[in-house]
Structures are given as structure tokens and as C-alpha cells.
């Protein structure tokens, strides 16, 4: 496997279900991100993990719970979601430098298309 | 104020022609990075090109070039010799140290290449 992988690619769940999205990066990066992309809206940053520590949580509802067991894996645990949570969820990774890294790009996975019924 | 503005929701271009996708940005930080990504219908965001605020020359990557006009705070993407496979959403993004190097994305431009 190369780059950033995400599973599953598609997910349909009911509002009472619990599911998890998985992301794995094979690039040796030290930072990972979850984004939500809804139709006709800019990408919304949800969570950032830098060196396995969560450094950003953009007022995301508690029904979304991230987990980063190591620098290569990132999970997004979902429970009691709402229909408005239906979206494309993108994972990304980057190599962050201690002194700042505005030059570094993010590399994205293919995304998980989530439909909440 | 929005950090990244893309004013063209949709663009059409004839195959083999060049097209310019607009992007303006807002920052008071002297150091920043500008990025363009392509998102085909499959969903994956593909990194295309990067321009640093201190770079003297416009960035180029194959058929992609970035028209960087610092004083106007614009970073337009130019795609030369358009191909059918260029049909996709294109997103402009920025990072700046003063906001923790967070990525800011625009709303995107949908490009359709016409045969």
C-alpha cells in the first residue's frame, strides 16, 4: 500500500448505529487530519493529531470521537449520528517540522462517503 | 474575512486550450504557503502545486503553473493544453504560521473540459 488509505470507502448507517472510519498513512508523516466535506461547502477541519497528540478539535460534536494509536493510524468513531452528518470524510497526513511547516503539503486519502439514514 | 476566495463556481474549457482558475487570499503574515489540489469525482484530493510567499518565481509542475501576484494577493492556477481528465473540482489552500499552520481551503471551482 502506498500513500494514504481509508476504509470503508462507502458507509450507510442508521442514527443508532456505531461505526468507525479507519485511515492509514504509509508516508512516514507525523501529523494526521480528519476533514468533513459537505456538498457546496468548504472543507471543514475536524481534528488534527501532531505526533499522536490531538492539537485541534474544531468544535466537533461529541458523537464524533477520534483515536490516534500511532503516527500511522487514525480512526474516527461514530455514534448516534444525524442525517446532516452525511458527507465525504477525508483523512490527510503531512510531515510537520518543529519550527513551523507552512511549506508542507497534505496528502489525502480517497475518503469515506457516509450516508446517515 | 475568508482566508481563501475562489469566485468561479464553475468553468468550461475546450480540450487543448489553456484555462485560469482564480484564487485570492487574505493574510498579514509575511510567511505563508499556497497550494492547489484537484478533486476528481472519485473524491481523493490530489496535490498539484505549491508556491511559497518568498519564492521569486512562479511555480510550475508540468502543465500546471501558478500565477503568483503577491501585491494583489492572488495565486491563480493555469492549466495549459487541457485534457478531458482535467475535469474535476479544484481547490486553492493556504497555510500561515500565525494560525498554527492550519490549512484554509476555498470553496472550489468545478472545471469541465469539453471535447
Residue B110: partners with Cβ closer than 8 Å, 6 or more residues away: B9, B10, B11, B88, B89, B90
Indicate the DSSP class of residue B18.
Answer: -
pLDDT surpassing 90 at residue B7: yes
* Averaged pLDDT score across all residues of chain B: 95
> Which residues are bridge partners to B103 per DSSP?
B95
- pLDDT more than 90, % of chain B: 89
Average pLDDT over residues B37-65: 95
pLDDT of residue A12: 95
pLDDT of residue B66: 97
**Chain A residues with beta carbon closer than 8 angstroms to that of B47:** 105-108
- pLDDT more than 70, % of chain B: 99
A42–B52 C-beta distance less than 8 A: no
Distance from CA of B114 to the nearest CA of A (A): 23
Mutate to test the interface with B, among A42, A51, A54, A95 (most CBs of B within 10 A): A42
pLDDT surpassing 70 at residue B115: yes
Average pLDDT over residues A65-90: 94
**Chain B residues with beta carbon closer than 8 angstroms to that of A108:** 37, 44-47
Question: Cβ atoms within 10 A of the Cβ of B73, count?
Answer: 16
pLDDT surpassing 90 at residue B85: yes
pLDDT of residue B2: 82
- Chain position carrying cell 443508532: A16
pLDDT of residue A100: 66
CA distances from B100 to A62, B49, B104 (A): 23, 21, 11
* HEC assignment per residue over A47-68: EEEECCEEEEECCCCCCEEEEE
pLDDT surpassing 80 at residue B94: yes
Distance of CA A57 to the CA centre of its chain: 11
* Averaged pLDDT score across all residues of chain A: 90
Average pLDDT over residues A2-10: 94
Q: Which of A42, A55, A111 sits opposite B107 (nearest CB)?
A: A42
Mutate to test the interface with B, among A8, A36, A38, A43 (most CBs of B within 10 A): A43
Amino acid at each position: 500500500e502506498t500513500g494514504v488509505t481509508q476504509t470503508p470507502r462507502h458507509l450507510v448507517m442508521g442514527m443508532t448505529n456505531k461505526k468507525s472510519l479507519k485511515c492509514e498513512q504509509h508516508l512516514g508523516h507525523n501529523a494526521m487530519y480528519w476533514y468533513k466535506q459537505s456538498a457546496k461547502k468548504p472543507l471543514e477541519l475536524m481534528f488534527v493529531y501532531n505526533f499522536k497528540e490531538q492539537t485541534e478539535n474544531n468544535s466537533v460534536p461529541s458523537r464524533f470521537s477520534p483515536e490516534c494509536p500511532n503516527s500511522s493510524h487514525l480512526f474516527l468513531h461514530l455514534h448516534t449520528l444525524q442525517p446532516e452528518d452525511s458527507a465525504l470524510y477525508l483523512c490527510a497526513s503531512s510531515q510537520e517540522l518543529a519550527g513551523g511547516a507552512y511549506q508542507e503539503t497534505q496528502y489525502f486519502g480517497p475518503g469515506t462517503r457516509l450516508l446517515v439514514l | 474575512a475568508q482566508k481563501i476566495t475562489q469566485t468561479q463556481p464553475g468553468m468550461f474549457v475546450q480540450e487543448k486550450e489553456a484555462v485560469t482558475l482564480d484564487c485570492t487570499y487574505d493574510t498579514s503574515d509575511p510567511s505563508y504557503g499556497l497550494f492547489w489540489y484537484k478533486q476528481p469525482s472519485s473524491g481523493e484530493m490530489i496535490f498539484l502545486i505549491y508556491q511559497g510567499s518568498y519564492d521569486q518565481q512562479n511555480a510550475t509542475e508540468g502543465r500546471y503553473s501558478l500565477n503568483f501576484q503577491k501585491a494583489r494577493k492572488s495565486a491563480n492556477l493555469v492549466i495549459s493544453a487541457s485534457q478531458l481528465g482535467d475535469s474535476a473540482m479544484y481547490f486553492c489552500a493556504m497555510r500561515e504560521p500565525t494560525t498554527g499552520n492550519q490549512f484554509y481551503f476555498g470553496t472550489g471551482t468545478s472545471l469541465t473540459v469539453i471535447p
